[in-house]
Amino acid sequence: MQLDDLKEAWAAHGAALEKSLAIDARLLREVLLRRVRFALAPYVLWRALEVALGVAALLVVVPVLAAHLAAPRYLVAGGALAAYAAGLTALSALLLVNGLRLDYGGPVTAIQRDVERLRLAEYRALKWALLGGVVVWLPAALVAFEALTGVDALARVPLAWLGANLLVGLVVLALGLAWSRRYVERAELSPWTRRVLDAVSGRALRAAARHLAELASFEREEA
């Protein structure tokens, strides 16, 4: 065999090997991205369920509030509860839309960035759910009881006790928001902040982030 023939055979072999490696890399990317989609499926389902529950809560609260529009305590306490339910429903809907709009065809770094934003948004939704719940837990219990029994429960609670509960809840809300802005919701996430987000993030987002990290590591090695 001539030297030129050997060179041509070697070049053909190298081209075939590069093509095979490219196919393998593409297949691995598709497998890992499929795992990301599979991991995020429960996340999307839970957000859809939260939206449905939020709408159901509004359907319970609004009729009770509408039946007592002339009562100031219903306007204040019931209005705060309605705003709380509407806000959480909107946050869940936003998380659902952002989860469905993830672009799996883009660069891995862009997908990782979008998943990190989802994790931070989920933390903020949980923050408002917990801190806001401290404010409206009493009106929520009374309105739910009234919706089930027809008894004007909120009207029978002493105004001073109701006001004290709302005031304490607002203080806790303000302190919680200030703490979160200072230590968690910052432009650069510290290792401690990431541990907090890991703790509050659902299993779906943690699994998706792990699969994306594997894919990013593989692409760096390929590069």
- DSSP assignment of 130-187: HHHHHHHHHHHHHHHHHHHH---HHHHS-HHHHHHHHHHHHHHHHHHHHHHHHHTS-S
Indicate the pLDDT class of residue 49, thresholds 50, 70 and 90: very high
At residue 16, does pLDDT exceed 60? no
Position 175 scores a pLDDT of: 93
Position 22 scores a pLDDT of: 47
At residue 20, does pLDDT exceed 50? no
Q: What is the value of pTM for the model shown? A: 0.76
Domain residue ranges of the chain, discontinuous segments joined by +: 3-222
At residue 8, does pLDDT exceed 80? no
Position 199 scores a pLDDT of: 67
Residue with the bigger pLDDT between 124 and 217: it is 124
